[in-house]
Amino acid sequence: MTTLDATHNPTLRSWVESANVAGTDFPVQNLPFGRFRPAGTDEPFRIGVAIGDQVLDLKAAKVVDHADMNLLMAATPAERAALRTALSEGLQEGGAKQGDWEIALYPQAAVEMALPCRIGDYTDFYTGIHHATTVGKLFRPDQPLMPNYKWVPIGYHGRASSIGVSGQRFKRPQGQTKAPDADVPSFGPSKRLDYELELGFLIGRGNDLGAPIAIADAEQHLFGVTLLNDWSARDLQAWEYQPLGPFLAKNFASTLSPWIVTMEALAPFRAKFERPEGDPQPMPYLDSPANREQGALAITLEVWLQTAKMRDAGEPATRLTRGSTTQAAYWTAAQLVTHHTVNGCNLQPGDLLGSGTLSGPTLEEAGSLLEITLGGKQPMTLPNGETRTFLEDGDTLTLRGYCEREGAVRIGLGEVSGTVLPA
């Protein structure tokens, strides 16, 4: 998955002119997968590949003979490589497929996107060490990180049924909370609604029950990466999370971007996985030379907010933070796969692994309002004069991600947005 080949050639151009525009998320070197149908129709969703501002219908282009994304994701690495090569060659400038494939293109502005695959199970991890440390200081000043954090990837099983695609609109959750000075809890809408800037790793080939996936093989089971916003009700969470962890504070909504950027497309943007000096090195089952050499992903992540007042005034969203995954993640995607299966757990095509909040070491790189406002103690002032400690009704939160490196063509993960509605 980390091998460069002809599909990554930075000189490649596409006969789809919008794919050649500087700064596009979807040049011919990317080729992410999603599920779409023409907007305003009840046609079945089909598999598409984003190219510039268009989407190629793979069945209409006679590239695949089905519309089952999970089946496509379960392909072998060799089959996936062959499909990527065929798409790259067919979409390249001067490609022999142009005449046949032009009629299989749809403008992205004219389609409806669905979740990119069927998500059977969802596990959310906690790989962002700066997020874990900052949040830990708010609740446990004397011990921000629990003793196990640097030894074992921490995670919990989330709820797949409430995961929605970008554009999701959800009601503010209600539940029990307890004020520090109250004798008993109260019930009502969350007052401390937050976002979490995450990546989602989607499983391709699964494993049999009782057959762990070794670290050397883990990336062969990863299909690709999406943007993920795991909305969180911090006040519900504070009351309910002990002793078993997140529950209603997390499962009311999670929003996923519609495009899966494949591990093959990310090959030019791999980075060394290095632990800070003095930290324990991973146990042998979580360690390999390849994982140390290029197990990390170099992805720039941004958070944008548009309030209802800004939208009504015709004002654009404002960027809250920008950071890099290389500064944020304490564990690699391969380590998450290996640890998830070390006890014999079986993963299946389409299973989603969340990275956890990916915050950098500074507030300008924070991945949640809990960090930016120090638990609500320091309100943030927006350009139009509004303030925020946590999200308010009508707020639209958007995450964006992209990869840039000298000698490679920039590729993007698209964006994922969601809007808070009243309870």
Do 174 and 103 share a structural domain?
Answer: no
* Ligand-binding site membership of 230 (annotated): yes
**What pLDDT score does 242 carry?**
85
- Whether 1 maps to a domain, the answer reads no
* Ligand-binding site membership of 285 (annotated): no
Question: Which residues, in sequence order, are bridge partners of residue 318?
Answer: 305
* C-alpha atoms less than 13 angstroms from C-alpha of 258 in its C-beta half-sphere: 23
β strands within 139-253, DSSP E:
155-157, 163-165, 168-171, 174-177, 186-189, 193-194, 197-203, 222-229, 232-233
Q: Which long-range contacts (CB under 8 A, 24 or more apart) does 186-192 make?
A: 188/423, 189/422, 189/423, 190/233, 190/234, 190/235, 190/236, 190/249, 190/423, 191/235, 191/390, 192/233, 192/234, 192/235, 192/370, 192/376, 192/389, 192/390
Do 288 and 225 share a structural domain?
Answer: yes
Do 203 and 79 share a structural domain?
Answer: no
pLDDT tens by residue, the chain, 423 residues: 689 999 999 999 999 999 999 999 999 999 999 999 999 999 999 999 999 999 999 999 999 999 999 999 999 999 999 999 999 999 999 989 999 999 999 999 999 999 999 999 999 999 999 999 999 888 788 888 999 999 999 999 999 999 999 999 999 999 999 998 999 999 999 999 999 999 999 999 999 999 999 999 999 999 999 999 999 999 999 999 889 889 999 999 999 999 999 999 999 999 999 999 999 999 999 999 999 999 999 999 999 999 999 999 999 999 999 999 998 999 999 999 999 999 999 999 999 999 999 999 999 999 999 999 999 999 999 999 999 999 999 999 999 999 999 999 999 999 999 999 999
- Whether 183 maps to a domain, the answer reads yes
Q: Which of the following is catalytic: 8, 66, 130, 131?
A: 131
Do 92 and 15 share a structural domain?
Answer: yes
Do 56 and 131 share a structural domain?
Answer: no
Alpha helices (H) along 92-225: 98-101, 129-139
Concatenating the DSSP letter of every residue in 132-164 gives HHHHHHHH-TT-SS-TTTTTS--EEE--GGGEE
Do 363 and 336 share a structural domain?
Answer: yes
- Whether 275 maps to a domain, the answer reads yes
Instruction: For residue 271, give the CATH number of its domain.
Output: 3.90.850.10
* Ligand-binding site membership of 377 (annotated): no
- Whether 233 maps to a domain, the answer reads yes
Catalytic, 130? Answer no
- Whether 231 maps to a domain, the answer reads yes
SS3 131: helix
Give residue 385's region: left, alpha or beta (phi > 0; psi -120 to 50): left
* Ligand-binding site membership of 250 (annotated): yes
State pTM to two decimals. Answer: 0.97
Q: Which of 74, 96, 114 is where one domain is finished?
A: 114
Do 134 and 76 share a structural domain?
Answer: no
Q: Are the C-beta atoms of residues 136 and 374 closer than 8 Å to each other?
A: no
Q: Are the C-beta atoms of residues 201 and 225 closer than 8 Å to each other?
A: yes
Distance in angstroms (rounded) separating the CA atoms of residues 356 and 364: 18
Do 155 and 16 share a structural domain?
Answer: no
Number of domains the chain contains = 2
**What pLDDT score does 2 carry?**
81
Instruction: For residue 14, give the CATH number of its domain.
Output: 2.30.30.230
* Ligand-binding site membership of 387 (annotated): no
- Whether 309 maps to a domain, the answer reads yes
Q: Which of 114, 146, 163 is where one domain is finished?
A: 114
Q: Which of 114, 136, 168 is where one domain is finished?
A: 114
* Ligand-binding site membership of 357 (annotated): yes
Do 138 and 86 share a structural domain?
Answer: no
Containing structural domain, residue 47: 6-114
**What pLDDT score does 4 carry?**
96
Q: Which long-range contacts (CB under 8 A, 24 or more apart) does 131-135 make?
A: 131/328, 131/356, 131/357, 131/358, 131/359, 131/366, 131/367, 131/368, 131/371, 132/330, 132/356, 134/359, 134/366, 134/371, 135/368, 135/370, 135/371
Do 151 and 25 share a structural domain?
Answer: no
Q: What angle do CA 306, 307, 311 make, to 5 degrees?
A: 75
Do 207 and 106 share a structural domain?
Answer: no
**What pLDDT score does 215 carry?**
98
Distance in angstroms (rounded) separating the CA atoms of residues 90 and 16: 11
